[in-house]
């Protein structure tokens, strides 16, 4: 399958490699060209060039602003994609932008599928991502060979693309909630001189054995916040997007407000580029535990 792939960050680069390994014909584009040249596939000079002859164009970008520029900006993909070609957005973006993309591509007789993923860079490398897809079922089916090359399972959420985006935002909100609550629980037991490693071993071996608890509890106890698998700045972005989606449907999310404020506190104190598990460090600092194991 002829694929244009745009966005070669910590997630996008391993995803592109896995598509190439699976035998798909890739043309890639990245704003910083050097990140594309080591992949051993064709490198485009512009996003439009990556999309011009592609059957499917995948975007994996940091935020709404970056995606809007790539789709609608000068040399953007919307003006270059052929009628019938499919744009698959695998980024974590707002519900509103997903709705706009569906409308704009439909007017150009192009297709649009939302397919954000759950998983950190290590999961992307190991083809262990979970793909959450929504859109025209016929178009989603055409994309399935690509999803199979990227992840361990695909979940079809509905025929409106924004359904996948709200699922992704709600999931990231839940992960952030786990980090916040782990931070609070660990701060509590540390104040009573409980060994945090023993505490985490007990939790993750019993009632809280899910991967999300094991992954983030380990990062928090070891204070392994760099290099970031997912930066705190991006975590704040996702919580804000979840809150915007909630406000649009009059859904109160008071826990999200707490997480937003703690993320802002961390960023104000120079933690923007640390892993978002460092949210727990903000909680610990507020409990007077800075520098205290």
CB atoms near residue 169 (< 10 Å)? 25
The catalytic position among 35, 168, 198, 222 is: 168
Could you give phi then psi for residue 282, rounded to 5 degrees? -65, -45
Long-range pairs for 192-196: beta carbons < 8 A, 24 or more residues apart: 196/221, 196/293
Q: Is-contact 63 36, C-beta < 8 A? A: no
- Euclidean distance between CA atoms 50 and 26, whole angstroms: 9
In whole angstroms, how far apart are CA 55 and each of 15, 88, 167, 260?
Answer: 17, 11, 26, 39
What are the structure tokens assigned to 279, written together?
């949210």
- Euclidean distance between CA atoms 240 and 286, whole angstroms: 22
214 assigned to active site = no
CB atoms near residue 271 (< 10 Å)? 22
- Euclidean distance between CA atoms 98 and 241, whole angstroms: 12
List the one residue out of 150, 168, 153 whose CA is nearest residue 14.
150
Task: Give me the active site residues, please.
Answer: 168
């Amino acid at each position: 399958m002829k694929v244009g792939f745009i966005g070669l960050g910590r997630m996008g680069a391993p995803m592109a490699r896995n598509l190439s390994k699976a035998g798909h014909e890739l043309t890639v584009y990245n704003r910083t060209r050097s990140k594309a040249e080591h992949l051993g596939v064709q490198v485009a000079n512009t996003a439009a060039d990556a999309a011009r002859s592609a059957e499917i164009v995948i975007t994996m970008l940091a935020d709404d602003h970056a995606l809007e520029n790539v789709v609608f900006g000068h040399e953007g993909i919307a003006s270059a994609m052929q009628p019938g070609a499919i744009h698959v957005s695998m980024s974590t973006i707002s519900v509103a932008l997903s709705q706009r993309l569906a409308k704009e591509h439909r007017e150009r007789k192009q297709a649009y599928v939302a397919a954000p993923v759950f998983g950190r860079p290590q999961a992307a490398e190991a083809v262990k991502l979970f793909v959450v897809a929504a859109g025209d079922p016929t178009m989603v089916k055409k994309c399935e060979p690509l999803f199979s090359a990227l992840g361990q399972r695909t979940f079809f959420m509905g025929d409106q693309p924004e359904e996948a985006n709200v699922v992704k935002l709600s999931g990231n909100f839940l992960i952030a909630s786990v980090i916040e609550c782990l931070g609070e629980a660990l701060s509590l037991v540390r104040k009573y001189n409980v060994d945090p490693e023993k505490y985490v071993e007990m939790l993750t071996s019993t009632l809280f054995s899910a991967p999300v608890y094991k992954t983030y509890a380990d990062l928090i106890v070891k204070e392994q916040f760099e290099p970031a698998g997912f930066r705190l700045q991006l975590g704040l972005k996702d919580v804000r997007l979840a809150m915007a989606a909630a406000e649009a449907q009059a859904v109160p999310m008071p826990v999200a407000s707490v997480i937003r404020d703690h993320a802002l506190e961390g960023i104000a104190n120079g933690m923007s580029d640390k892993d978002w598990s460092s949210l727990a460090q903000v909680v610990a600092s507020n409990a007077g535990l800075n520098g205290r194991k």
